[in-house]
Amino acid sequence: MAGAFDAANDATMALGPLAGLAREDFIGAIGLMLRQTATNPDKAFKAAGNFSEDVVKIMTGQSDLAPDPKDKRFMDPAWRFNPFFKAGAQYYLAVQKGVKSYIEDLELDALERDRANFISQIIIDALSPTNSLIGNPTAQKRLVDSGGLSLVKGLKNAYNDMVHNDMMVSQVNKKPFKLGENVATAKGSVVYRDERFELIQYAPTTDKVYAIPQLTIPPQINKMYINDLSPEKSVIKWQTDHGIQPFMISWRNPTDDMGVWGMNEYIESCIKALDVVCDITGIDKVNVSGGCSGGQTMSVLLSKLASMGDTRANAITMMVCVLEPKPGDTEASSLVSHNGIALARQRAAKKGVIEGSSLARGFAWLRPNDLIWNYVINNYLLGEDPPAFDILFWNADATNLSSSLMGDFLELFEANAYAQPGTFDVAGHTLDLTKVTGDMFILGGTTDHITPWRACYRSTQLFGSKNVEFILSQAGHMQAILNPPGNPKAKYWKHSKGKTPADVGEWMKGTEEVAGSWWPYWMEWLHARSGKEVAVPATLGSKAYPPMEAAPGLYVLE
């Protein structure tokens, strides 16, 4: 299941361009393919003829169709040596080849072709013979070897998912993990709480600390402990071990009556968090960071502060966050339409909250091979428990999303508001990132399918900051962030002169490859912008904001 772990790193709910998908977009893409079939029957007949030729070759043993050696579904030797299974794989590959060839032959523009390829691949993935007991040799061997116990266990797993997991196949074994014990273990305390968020201050682990504190703004759709997943992968621990004073917002999991919380309310909460951090540390500057949708929220906050003449935001770190999405960034984003966004906004307006389980289900079906069929095979056909990985545990711990906030995210996306300064009002001001002047550190991941790194790079041109550094990590979506020192395969790219030209191609020409994690380089960058070293505070909190419950707090348990 190592492949499942890698897939999960790239399949967390980031609330990027995919937030605007609606079922009508899927239906529209399927309708386009059907119309093309009806209006171009000659091409349909051509595709059918080519498929028939492949079938004849398969039946006569002359077909050279073979699975991709990297396709984990067909790793069992039976797919190569057993005539029945070999033919089954070849029939499946013939269908896949025929559909791909047919779509390439149609008169479609680039966007329509991306839509057709994306939808057809979802359907083809569902038809894979590996998804059924009769078509999966590994599952059949397991059935015989276990004396039927694998089937019994698989049926039990399926029943548990139907009853206890909202009809979704489980992606993780949650039993080994407990918050505060082996996940989210960094020492600290809640120093502020209201109805929307808790603010956690983490305890120093060094003799001295840097004067300027760090505030992390996490996404609203997942819980904040991705930043403190385990001691060896904890961004928080890395900060405290290097003299940084970290604070982190922990958003409340909203219920129906909290669905009125929109971007305005969340920005108010961020500003309150800044107030508390400044009171506790006695410093009027705060370094801020945000990733995924937390980066989108952070960007609105920075624009709001600039409009108010509030200069407390100092150095800015933005991780795997897209502010200027474009249809060609991913095949899935090609499905997003203005009509679909409008429908999604209407649905959101009728609900108190968008349930986390609903968002997780919709997201999983965008990558069904990795996030559905992979686990169907493991949990049901092989009768295995799902893997026990901490990042999968966190990914399954999704929260609800306020419908008002979802509507704001969709409006920001539709208006391309971050990239169009002075044209969009949000959170009580006119959004304008060109007025944000703090030094910036922006991170992308080379294999990130959710927030593609070239799309992340566009953010380097949106702010008024004179000093913007872009770092490209050799990793996927969450692995790009959770990339601590010690991984022998880790590497990253940075511009040799720290420049971020408008053309990403120009940036690539001037880059140098660096072996290892980007964390030490980021820490050097952060130290240079965190003031002087001072004595460690005697206690957490302050007179006005005394420490309460131990980290990770109460809201993370809801």
The DSSP annotation for 187-244 comes to -EEEEEE-SSEEEEEEPP-SSEEESS-EEEE--SSB-GGGGBSSGGGBHHHHHHTTT-
pLDDT at 102 (0 to 100): 86
- Beta-bridge partner residues of 495: 511
Domains of the chain listed by start with CATH number: 1-145 (no CATH), 188-355+400-557 (3.40.50.1820)
**DSSP string for 241-277:** TTT--EEEEEE----GGGTT--HHHHHHHHHHHHHHH
pTM reported for the whole predicted model: 0.90
Residue 330, pLDDT score: 66
Percent of residues in the chain assigned helix, strand, coil, to nearest 5: 50, 15, 40
Structure tokens at 464: 């008024």
Query: Is 321 annotated as catalytic?
Result: no
Q: Which stretches of 261-393 are assigned E, i.e. beta strand?
A: 286-291, 313-319, 353-354
Does 67 sit behind a cis peptide bond, omega within 30 degrees of 0 on the bond before it? no
Q: In which residue are the tokens 């971007």 written?
A: 263
Q: What is the pLDDT of residue 361?
A: 75
61-115 pLDDT tens trace? 999 999 999 899 999 999 999 999 999 999 999 999 998 888 888 877 777 777 7
Show the low-confidence residues of the chain (pLDDT under 70): 1-27, 328, 330-341, 343-345, 347
Q: Which pLDDT score is estimated for 2?
A: 47
Q: Apex CA 397: angle with CA 269 and CA 264, to 5°?
A: 20
The catalytic residue among 270, 292, 321, 456 is 292
